[in-house]
Amino acid sequence: MDKRLNDTVLANSYDAGHQSLSWDPGQPGGLLSGIDLASIIESPDAAEIVPNLPVQPLYYALKQRGFEDSLEILALLSTEQVVHMADYEAWDADDFSQRRMLNFLKYFGEISAEQLYTRFADLDEEYQIATLEGLLTVYEVEHMFDLPHDVEERAFKMPCDTVFYEIHLESKDDVEFVEKLMESVREHNMVYAYALLSHATHNPPAENEAQV
């Protein structure tokens, strides 16, 4: 499902020069051919080298090598590099793609729960909400058995024991990943986890629950 962010965020993204980077690998040349990821990974100074590399050539090199084969590099990216790469990955012309953003975040989830949380939390708030918007339905009940019968087995529970949520994705792997993301958020910032539920659903938990 594609989501359109507000005009201000879209304009800022264009102004920054990091929106909808055209991706056609072809044969790299010039600056784009100058980053040897294999050598960087083997370097004892990789932690200092990677965050200082220019974003577009680094992104090109990662796409050529494959994000899935470059987890060591992804773990060393600066916040700015990740934010810009999220722009490159998540936009299709003027449309924000939830699926593409989730696929991008999955690589950080393969590194660690902390990486997943940090990279997601570092995104612009509009991006965070757009990534989860429409994917969650929240239920507030006194007991789990008060949930609709067809929801009970699919619902995930928040620590307050009265807020539950359902993840609306067809793929079991996608559902598991979104829950992995929510779990990483709960582990690091519980108030933030409730706030995400509140903003990403049309049926938000009560304000007092968000302070649990």
Q: Determine the pLDDT at residue 149.
A: 84
What lies within 8 Å, CB to CB, of 24 at 6+ separation is: none
Q: Is 209 within a domain?
A: no
As given in the structure block, the two tokens for residue 108 are: 């950080």
Q: What is the pLDDT of residues 157-188, one digit of tens each?
A: 999 999 999 999 999 999 999 999 999 999 99
The phi, psi pair for 85, rounded to 5°, reads -65, -35
Which has the closest alpha carbon to 85: 68, 100, 98? 100
Residues 101 and 146 in one domain: no
pLDDT at residue 17 tops 70:
no
Q: Average model confidence (pLDDT) for the chain?
A: 84
E strand map for 15-144: 91-92, 95-97, 136-140
48: buried, middle or exposed (CB in 10 Å: 19+, 13-18, 0-12)? exposed
Residues 155 and 66 in one domain: no
What lies within 8 Å, CB to CB, of 187 at 6+ separation is: 113, 117
- State the Cα–Cα distance between residues 181 and 106, nearest whole angstrom: 9
Domain enclosing residue 149, as ranges: 134-201
Q: Considering only 96-100, 101-105, 128-132, 139-143, which range has the smallest mean pLDDT?
A: 139-143
Q: Is 10 within a domain?
A: yes
Helices (DSSP H) in 112-171: which residue ranges?
A: 113-121, 125-132
Q: What is the pLDDT of residues 52-110, one digit of tens each?
A: 999 999 999 999 999 999 999 999 999 999 999 999 999 888 899 999 999 999 999 99
- Report the domain count for the chain: 2
Q: Is 122 within a domain?
A: no
Q: Determine the pLDDT at residue 27.
A: 45
Average pLDDT over residues 103-119: 98
Residues 111 and 42 in one domain: yes
pLDDT-derived band at 12 (thresholds 50, 70, 90) equals low
Residues 51 and 85 in one domain: yes
Residues 185 and 147 in one domain: yes
As given in the structure block, the two tokens for residue 143 are: 């007991």
Q: Is 126 within a domain?
A: no
